[in-house]
Amino acid sequence: MPGARPAPSERPRVRVLTALALMLAALLFGASLPVAEEAAAATYVPISGAGSTWSQNALDQWRANVKQYNMTVNYTGNGSSDGRNQFRNGTVDYGVSEIPYGVKDSGVVDSAPSRKFAYMPIVAGGTSFMYNLTIGNRRVTNLRLSGEVITKIFTGVVKTWNDPAIAADNPSLAAALPARRIVPVVRSDGSGTTAQFSAWMASEHAGLWDAYCRKAGRSTPCGTTSNYPMVSGSGFVGQAGSNGVSGYVAQKGNVGTITYVEYSYAVYTTGFPVVKVLNKAGYYTEPTARNVAVGLLKADINPKTLTQELTGVYRDSDPRTYPLSSYSYMIVPTAVEANFSKQKGKTLGAFAYYFLCQGQQHVDDLGYSPLPVNLVKAGLQQVRRIPGVDVESVNIKNCHNPTFSASGANTLAKSAPYPPTCDKKGASQCATGTGGDKTPTQVTGGKGSGGSSSGGGSGNGTGNTSTGGKGGTGGTTGGTGGGDDGGTSAGGTSASPSVDPDTGQVVTNDGSASGTVDGGAYSQPVTTASSIGGGTRRALMVLAAVLLLTLTVAPPLLTSVLNAKRRRS
């Protein structure tokens, strides 16, 4: 069989024999060994594409690696909408998008191009919720939320971090959640990530989503949209690109922000935690490669277009499922049109085969999930439709895809571990960190235990200002940055002035720590006396030290005392 590997069991023997023979030959004929034939690399013309930033971290690695095969693949990540537009206009050879053409968005249908094309899945992943939240100046890393609360946050219904709904999802943080305003950070450009997220909200929480859209002046039902609706004065922040939203949330001063972005950006680019999202089985899960693989087992794939219908994923009852799992796809030409040629087709075909197979091997290291076998097979069908592709080489047998198994089951999903019980909805909550920050979050002590110090987390240079615990006298020195006098709130909690991340205005603490929110001036976050990390450990360590000391010193002392006694007696 051409190109097939020799069966593994034969290999060593073959190797041994040839090696022996060759050694003999070498000994006999000296240096006259056959010279390794230079690999005849194919020539590939460069190709160019544009589109999604959701999948760009993976795509960039593939592009870099195929350089060694003499392939030049260009890509501009300006958002899915731009990718679809450019492909439609014929200015690029391929586009990358999370949603297909033809979706009605704000009443306008995103029309399909006149050139012939096909969709091909390229990589799976989870749309994650990356956040920046601190309690007592320590970053929270184990936040978990139900889908409804997430929707309420991104539709402006839940407005502060100490909202009872958030507390209900987070029993171990409940007492310590700050009265800080939630600042949702959304994409300001036409984005496939927005489309993914809004499709989920439209399907699972249509009432909330439509009510929000109405407020934003959109027609309802709002459905899937690439352009996040904005309600003026709502305090939402718009940023361009996945880099933009993740970069905004990652600023030390932007405590209270939350955004939706592909997992990769939280885990790897910025090292931030992500929300564990409640699935239908009652478990809060993270979009790890395996949880996404489990979820996508329930994706309905239109066999003709390969577009995704994700309701089954959203409602999957497997306890491991991450509900916002989805995949991204490439829009490839299936005819020689608009500057696309057979030579380019050869490159695109070889590149596609590479990333559907070899390229999937290590996407989990980048925050994605390898495509399951059914999608790879379907994708390879599409690759064969690209004009100019070397059909012979598009061969499932040599495809080094990590999810393949002999039984045809997705090995990744099969081996996915079940969540621990502390991830189950209920009274307990895992302390382990998430996403790019694995530092555990442990809240010890309750309200009023006093003594923790906090800098307010706004990084505005108040130096040694420390805020006393609730009821404490607190060594407040006021704010040095804003020219105000700090202000001590009714509860005895004081805080340094912080800067509203949205408006850039210095917000002073007016003493109303109740968290009432009414548009303009929001109350200063109130730090309760709870702190993360704890006294138990310290006590245990001291105890251990004392015991160790006793253990070392006691026996000789005791012996000598006893001996002395014995001698005296």
Interface with another protein in residues 530-559 (CB under 8 A): 537, 540, 543-544, 547-548, 550-551, 554-555, 558-559
CB-side exposure of 487: number of CA atoms within 13 Å?
Answer: 19
Residue 207 near another protein by CB under 8 A: no
Please pick, from the candidates 171, 459, 491, 511, the single residue that binds another protein as defined by CB under 8 A. Answer: 459
Q: Catalogue the E-assigned strands of 362-489.
A: 443-444
Q: Output Rg (C-alpha) for the chain, integer angstroms.
A: 30
Rule CB under 8 A: choose which of 448, 461, 475, 535 binds another protein: 461
- Alpha-carbon span 254 to 155, nearest angstrom: 20
| Tokens linked to 47 | 């190709």
Q: Which of 240, 301, 409, 517 binds another protein (CB under 8 A)?
A: 240
22 binds another protein (CB under 8 A): yes
Residue 3 in contact with another protein, rule: CB under 8 A: yes
Say if CB 241 and CB 189 are below 8 A apart: yes
Kindly state whether residue 112 participates in binding another protein, applying the rule CB under 8 A. Answer: no
Q: 221 preceded by cis ω (within 30°)?
A: yes
Minimum CB separation from another protein for residue 294, in Å? 15
Tell me which residue has tokens 């305003």: 181
407 touching another protein, by CB under 8 A: no
Residue 278: what are its φ and ψ, rounded to 5°? -75, 125
The residue type found at 300 is: D
> Tokens 């009714």, residue?
490
Residue 28 lies near another protein (rule: CB under 8 A): no
Is residue 500 a contact partner of residue 146, using CB atoms and an 8 Å limit?
A: no
Nearer to another protein, 122 or 366 (CB): 366
DSSP, res 488: B
Decide if residue 477 touches another protein (CB under 8 A). no
Residues 75-94 that bind another protein (CB under 8 A): 77, 81, 91-92
Piece in contact with another protein (CB under 8 A), picked from 146-154, 167-175, 498-506, 522-530? 498-506
Residue 354 beta carbon to another protein: minimum distance, rounded to whole angstroms: 7
CB of 329 to another protein, least distance (A): 21
Among 132, 227, 291, 489, binds another protein (CB under 8 A): 227
Site for another protein in 270-299 (CB under 8 A): 270-271
Give the C-alpha separation, 257 to 184, whole Å: 6
Total residues contacting another protein (rule CB under 8 A)? 121
Stretch that binds another protein, among 158-166, 182-190, 305-313, 509-517 (CB under 8 A): 182-190
Task: Determine the 3-state secondary structure of 345 from DSSP.
Answer: helix
Stretch that binds another protein, among 126-134, 238-246, 322-330, 372-380 (CB under 8 A): 238-246
**Contacting range for another protein; rule: CB under 8 A; set: 129-137, 164-172, 308-316, 340-348:** 340-348
Euclidean distance between CA atoms 96 and 328, whole angstroms: 7
With residue 542 as reference, give the H or E element that holds it. helix 535-568
Q: Which DSSP state fits 484?
A: S
463, 475, 520, 535: which one binds another protein (CB under 8 A):
463
What letter would DSSP give residue 81?
A: H
Cα–Cα distance measured from residue 285 to residue 287, given in angstroms and rounded to the nearest whole number: 7
Q: Does 70 bind another protein (CB under 8 A)?
A: yes
Is position 334 an interface residue for another protein (rule: CB under 8 A)? no
Report the DSSP pairing between strands 300-301 and 308-309: antiparallel
Q: Is 423 in the site for another protein (CB under 8 A)?
A: no
The residue with tokens 């999957």 is: 316
Judged by CB under 8 A, which of 223, 287, 436, 486 binds another protein?
436
Q: For the CB of residue 473, give the shortest distance to another protein in the complex, in Å.
A: 25
- Of 391, 399, 356, which Cα lies nearest the Cα of 376? 356
Q: In this complex, which beta carbon is closest to another protein, that of residue 220 or of residue 503?
A: 503
The reply to whether 238 sits near another protein by the rule CB under 8 A is yes
The CA-CA-CA angle for residues 82, 88, 93, to 5°, reads: 85
- What pairing do the DSSP bridges indicate for beta strands 144-145 and 276-278? parallel
Candidates 52, 151, 160, 188: give the one binding another protein (CB under 8 A): 188
Q: Which stretch binds another protein (CB under 8 A): 234-242, 377-385, 510-518, 522-530?
A: 234-242
Smallest gap from Cβ 464 to another protein, in A, equals 9
Stretch near another protein under the rule CB under 8 A, chosen from 63-71, 294-302, 371-379, 510-518:
63-71
Name the segment binding another protein (CB under 8 A); options: 5-13, 144-152, 171-179, 318-326. 5-13
Query: Applying CB under 8 A, which of residues 219, 220, 302, 398 lies at the interface with another protein?
Result: 398
Among residues 376, 202, 375, 196, which one has the least CA distance to residue 287?
A: 196
d(CA 460, CA 256): 15
**Beta carbon of residue 282, minimum distance to another protein (angstroms, whole number):** 23
SS (H, E, C) 269-306: HHCCCECEEECCCCEEECCCHHHHHHHHCCCEECCCCC
Q: Applying CB under 8 A, does 396 fall inside the site for another protein? A: no
Smallest distance, another protein to C-beta of residue 501, A? 5
Among 83, 235, 379, 481, interactor with another protein by CB under 8 A: 481
Say whether residue 36 binds another protein (CB under 8 A): yes
- The amino acid sitting at 419 is P
* Dist. CA 81–CA 84, nearest whole Å: 5
